[in-house]
Amino acid sequence: MSFFCDILLSVMPSKVSKGVSMVHLFNISVQNNEISCDYTPEHSEKIGHVVVDTESLEVKKVEFSAYEYGKKMYVAHVRQKLEEIYTSGKTIPKETAVIWY
C-alpha cells in the first residue's frame, strides 16, 4: 500500500472498519485524448487500470483489479474521479483516492 493510503487510513482508522470503502488512483496521466490511471481497491495490492476518453468521458479500456470479484463497483468511482480531475482544469495529480460510505 502506498504512503498516500497509509496517511488516509491514519486519519480515519475507525471509519475504515465501519462500512467505508475506498479506491486509490495512481500513475494518473493524460495523453492522446485519454486520461488513465492504475488503481487498487480497499487495502488490496491487486492493481487495475482504467482509460477514459477525454472528449466523451466514457471508459475506453479497463483491466479490472482481481480484488473486485466481479462486482466492478470500483471502476465507476475511478471513472468519475478521472472525469473530475480532467474537467477541473487543475494540475493533474500523481495520485489521489476516493472514499465513500
> pLDDT tens across 57-72, in order?
999 999 999 998 777 7
Coil vs helix vs strand at 90: coil
Residue 35 has a pLDDT of 98
Query: Is residue 11 domain-resident?
Result: no
Mean pLDDT within 28-52: 95
14 pLDDT higher than 60: no
What Å distances lie between residue 98 and 22, 26, 31, 79, 85, CA to CA?
A: 5, 11, 22, 11, 12
pLDDT level of residue 84 (50, 70, 90 thresholds):
very high
pTM, to two decimals:
0.81
Q: Give domain status of residue 67, yes or no.
A: yes
How many domains does the chain fold into? 1
Say if residues 37 and 49 touch (Cβ distance below 8 Å). yes
Q: Considering the domain boundaries, does residue 31 fall inside one? A: yes
| H runs (alpha helix) in the chain | 3-11, 13-16, 73-88
